[in-house]
């Protein structure tokens, strides 16, 4: 009997060990494992429901795969205009009533227009889920688009634009820099549009954009919070199932490849700039598998926090920058790293620029110390987990995961990939992408 038991134990150990040695899965990441239900309605609407019992709240997020990338030349600002029009009423809801309904019950709401998506979101008491779905479904189904409402919103956007252009220092330079960084029209034009284009946008342009992209088969609906999944499914079905599917979404045209051009250095005089400054960036396209994760960690290493490389050297140690910001700018399949520094005078600006370039050069040849890499990863980890720390963050994150193709189930595996970035892989990424041909510099002079 004893021998038999021992044999079984040994057999077990023998069976277990080889398995453990080559396929030990990473431990689940706390916070990233939560129940998710995912399905698609007959009209093509993707639905994600994430249960979170902690508080009687639910966030309702709708992401439409429509943004500035879908705008044509002469239509800059159209996506942002439609986002604003989504608050101007629909068949059963008067203008601005969406906001009032949510405000009255203590909820919060907002919207975001980005390059490849427009997102509408609200967080309400979980017993008000039906209200949020009713509001969102009504504007998906039957937005009121009249020439009066279009003109009114256009006017307010133009006034916002004028106000920003006369009060935001460095805004003009940022727009120009982004055009230099993303030379294709679709990727490089300003999200908020231009006064000239906004004025030209017609009611028909708006209606056509809405009818093409604000359809269930181009959207993701995500609910996160204290919900009963069956009841939530019933409500989603009630409000969204009968909204007709739209036409097939036009495939994004063949995007022209980045023109094979060398580095760019230009200058601009900004009448609002209180001090000289510069924008410095690198374009990354196309990316090799895995490069994305290295670039993301590099963003933290160079630019996040007050102990990152550039802040430490430029602001704290050498005091050649009075302001520093930047980070990765992701625009669907295009990506760039942007750095912006404000300096006391032209001489400082020049020194500062040289210092940035020398830090990049250093990264090409010397391994990043483990301690520094660990700091960057810890900051990244905290940010990543913060993205699931509230119902709204979670719903936005799940929509993002769905749009990017990772999917809700892939969040943990995706996280591991960032954690596996090594000093050696970083050197590879930097040498591949931080080349003079990919460098764009825009010097901003004070008038």
Partner 1 sequence: MMGRRTSGAFLTALYCAAALFVCWEKAAGQERFRRSAPYPGPLAELRLPDIQNVTLSNGLKVAVAQKPDSAFVSVQLVVLAGERDCPDNVPGAAAATASLLSRGTPALSSSDIEERIEAIGADFSSRVFLDYTIFIMDVLEDNLDQALEILSLMTLQADFSDRELEGLKRTSYYELLEKGKDPEFVARAHLARLLFQGHPYQKGVYTEEVIRNITRKDIQAFYGRFYRPNNALIILGGNLNLTTASRKISHYFNTWTPRPVERDLLPEQKPNDKDVICVIDLPQARDATIYAGNLIMPLSSPDYFPFLVLNQALGGTTSSRLFMNLRESKGYAYYAFSETEFFKSCGLYWAKARVTPSAVYSAVQEILKDIRDLAVEKISSFEIEQAKSFLIGNFPLKNESLHALCYRLSLIRAFGLGDEHWNEFYDTIMLVNVDRGFETAQKYLLPKPIVVIVGDRNAVADYLKDFDRVDVYDAKGKMRFTMMKGVEK
Q: Interface with partner 1 by CB under 8 A: which residues? A: 29-31, 54-57, 91-92, 99-101, 103-108, 123-131, 134, 137-138, 141-142, 226, 238-239, 242, 305-308, 312, 316, 371, 374-375, 378-382, 385-386, 389-391
Give 219 or 442: the residue with its C-beta nearer to partner 1: 219
- Answer whether 157's CB lies under 8 Å from 84's CB: yes
Give 261 or 386: the residue with its C-beta nearer to partner 1: 386
Tell me the two tokens of residue 354.
């040289």
φ, ψ (nearest 5 deg) of residue 77: 100, 0
DSSP state of 193: -
Give 172 or 414: the residue with its C-beta nearer to partner 1: 414
Residues 6+ apart with CB under 8 A from 79: 66, 67, 68, 70, 71, 113, 118, 191, 209
Closest to 279 (Cα-Cα) out of 47, 434, 411, 443: 443
CA geometry: angle at 369 spanning 300 and 298, to 5°? 20
Q: Taking the complex as a whole, how short is the minimal distance between the CB of residue 193 and partner 1, in angstroms?
A: 24
Give 157 or 391: the residue with its C-beta nearer to partner 1: 391
Q: Taking the complex as a whole, how short is the minimal distance between the CB of residue 103 and partner 1, in angstroms?
A: 5
Give the C-alpha distances (Å, rounded to integers) separating 124 from 60, 109, 131, 334, 399: 8, 9, 9, 35, 18
Closest to 109 (Cα-Cα) out of 395, 399, 385: 395
Q: Taking the complex as a whole, how short is the minimal distance between the CB of residue 280 and partner 1, in angstroms?
A: 23
Q: Taking the complex as a whole, how short is the minimal distance between the CB of residue 139 and partner 1, in angstroms?
A: 11
Closest to 37 (Cα-Cα) out of 27, 52, 25: 52
Give 217 or 390: the residue with its C-beta nearer to partner 1: 390
Element (H, E) at 310: helix 309-310
Give 383 or 437: the residue with its C-beta nearer to partner 1: 383
3-state class (DSSP) for residue 22? helix
Q: Taking the complex as a whole, how short is the minimal distance between the CB of residue 367 and partner 1, in angstroms?
A: 18
Q: Taking the complex as a whole, how short is the minimal distance between the CB of residue 124 and partner 1, in angstroms?
A: 6
Q: Taking the complex as a whole, how short is the minimal distance between the CB of residue 373 and partner 1, in angstroms?
A: 11
Give 100 or 147: the residue with its C-beta nearer to partner 1: 100
């Amino acid at each position: 009997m004893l021998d038999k038991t021992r044999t079984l134990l040994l057999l077990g150990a023998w069976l277990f060990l080889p398995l453990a040695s080559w396929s030990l899965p990473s431990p689940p990441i706390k916070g990233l494992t939560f129940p998710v239900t995912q399905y698609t309605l007959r009209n093509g609407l993707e639905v994600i429901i994430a249960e979170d019992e902690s508080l009687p709240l639910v966030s309702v997020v709708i992401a439409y795969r429509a943004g500035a990338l879908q705008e044509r030349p002469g239509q800059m600002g159209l996506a942002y205009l439609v986002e604003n029009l989504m608050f101007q009423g629909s068949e059963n809801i008067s203008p601005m009533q969406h906001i009032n309904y949510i405000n009255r019950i203590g909820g919060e709401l907002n919207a975001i227009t980005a390059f490849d998506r427009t997102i509408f979101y609200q967080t309400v008491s979980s017993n008000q889920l039906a209200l949020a779905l009713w509001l969102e479904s009504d504007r998906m189904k039957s937005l009121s688009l009249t020439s009066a409402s279009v003109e009114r919103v256009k006017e307010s956007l133009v006034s916002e634009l004028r106000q920003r252009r006369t009060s935001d220092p460095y805004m003009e330079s940022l727009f120009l820099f982004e055009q230099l960084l993303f030379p294709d029209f679709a990727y490089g034009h300003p999200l908020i549009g231009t006064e000239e284009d906004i004025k030209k946008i017609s009611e028909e342009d708006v209606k056509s954009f809405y009818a093409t992209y604000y359809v269930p088969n181009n959207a993701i609906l995500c609910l996160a919070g204290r919900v009963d999944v069956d009841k939530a499914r019933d409500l989603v079905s009630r409000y969204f199932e009968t909204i007709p599917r739209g036409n097939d979404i036009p495939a994004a045209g063949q995007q022209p490849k980045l023109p094979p051009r060398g580095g760019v250095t230009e200058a601009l005089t900004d009448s609002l700039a209180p001090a000289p400054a510069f924008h410095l960036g690198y374009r990354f396209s196309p990316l090799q598998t895995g490069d994305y994760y290295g670039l993301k960690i590099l963003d933290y290493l160079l630019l996040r926090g007050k102990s990152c490389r550039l802040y430490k050297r430029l602001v704290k140690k050498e005091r050649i920058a009075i302001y520093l910001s930047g980070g990765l700018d992701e625009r669907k399949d295009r990506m760039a790293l942007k750095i912006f520094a404000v300096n006391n005078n032209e001489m400082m600006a020049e020194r500062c620029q040289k210092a940035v370039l020398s830090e990049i050069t250093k990264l090409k040849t010397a391994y990043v110390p483990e301690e520094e890499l660990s700091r960057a990863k810890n900051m990244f980890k905290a940010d990543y987990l913060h993205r699931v720390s509230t119902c709204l963050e979670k719903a936005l994150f799940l929509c993002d995961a769905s749009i990017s193709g990772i999917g809700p189930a892939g969040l943990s595996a995706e996280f591991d990939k960032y954690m596996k970035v090594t000093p050696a892989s970083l050197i590879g990424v930097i040498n591949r992408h931080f080349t003079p041909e990919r460098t764009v510099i825009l010097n901003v002079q004070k008038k």
